[in-house]
Amino acid sequence: MSPYPFRRLQIELAELIHSLPAEARLPSEPLLAKQMGVSRATLREAMRTFEGQGLIRRRQGVGTFVAPKVPVMDTGLEVLESLETIALRSGMTVRMGELQVEKVAADESLAKLLNLEVEAELTCVTRIIFTEQRPVAYLVDTLPLDILGVEELESGFTGSVLDLLLKRGAPKLTQSRTEIKAIGATSEVARALQIQRDAVLLHFAAQLYDEDSRVVDYSDSYFLPGYFRFHVVRRVG
């Protein structure tokens, strides 16, 4: 039935994980591998699946734990909202961390996305969004320097470029064009979200437009599975 140990392992691990209460600690990898009768490499392959589903949490130097049940941020994609707004509506709180603000020059790709010249001056804003338990999203916004200067982000920035622009009232924002992909985590994003390299992530690449149809912001958003539920209502015909 199961030619490979992997399937059996997954089943046994699923049973083990479900039999334990939230926050419980699993045996160490070498021990668990011995108990399951497989090598540590194979065990880790199987564990990846469960981490990807948000069922376990691995912390280097500490151990592996059953993930706590977590409320989900549920939202439609018809309206552009900040994660802060979505969280608020879901009765959750999020906070921002590891904020980095840089002045950068547009490369070919960014120039195209923002409809600017190559080498144009840009503000690049990188940060991590945390729930109470863990980091759940990694966000990178890139804007023309004349739309949002570096100094404007140095105090009072709470994590959302969208909310900042809306509060400021200018430029007047109209819509966002968001491209939706599934990707594996790069090393950089993996570290930020405390997951393994190549873990599965949902990726939004969004261009934000103002009333003059100028692109005022390009953003990359990386979402950890299990903490968000994005849906869209599609009309027929």
Partner DNA sequence: CAGTGGTCTAGACCACGAG
Partner DNA sequence: TCGTGGTCTAGACCACTGT
Question: Where does this chain bind a copy of itself (CB under 8 A)?
Answer: 6-7, 41, 45, 48-49, 52, 77-80, 162, 166, 173-184, 187, 197-198, 200-203, 206, 208, 223, 225, 229-237
The tokens 């540590």 sit on which residue? Answer: 40
Q: Considering only residues 13, 17, 26, 137, which one is a binding residue for DNA as defined by CB under 7 A? A: 26
Burial of 109 (0-12, 13-18, 19+ CB in 10 A): exposed
Size of the site for DNA (CB under 7 A): 28
| Residue 61 binds to DNA (criterion: CB under 7 A) | yes
Quick count: other Cβ atoms within 10 Å of Cβ 30?
11
| Residue 203 binds to DNA (criterion: CB under 7 A) | no
Contact of 215 with 209, CB cutoff 8 Å: yes
The tokens 């001056």 sit on which residue? Answer: 121
> Which residue type does 229 have?
R
* Binding pattern for the stretch 127-166 against DNA, x by CB under 7 A and - elsewhere: ----------------------------------------
| Residue 199 binds to DNA (criterion: CB under 7 A) | no
* Binding pattern for the stretch 89-118 against DNA, x by CB under 7 A and - elsewhere: ------------------------------
Instruction: Please list the residues that pair with 142 across neighbouring strands.
Output: 124, 218
The one of DNA, a copy of itself, none whose footprint includes residue 157, by CB under 5 to 8 A per kind, is: none
CA 154, CA 24: separation in Å to the nearest integer? Answer: 40
**Closer to a copy of itself at the Cβ: 89 or 197?**
197
Task: Kindly state the smallest distance separating residue 67's Cβ from DNA, in Å.
Answer: 14
Q: Which stretch binds DNA (CB under 7 A): 28-36, 75-83, 216-224, 228-236?
A: 28-36
CA 226, CA 53: separation in Å to the nearest integer? Answer: 7
What lies within 8 Å, CB to CB, of 170 at 6+ separation is none
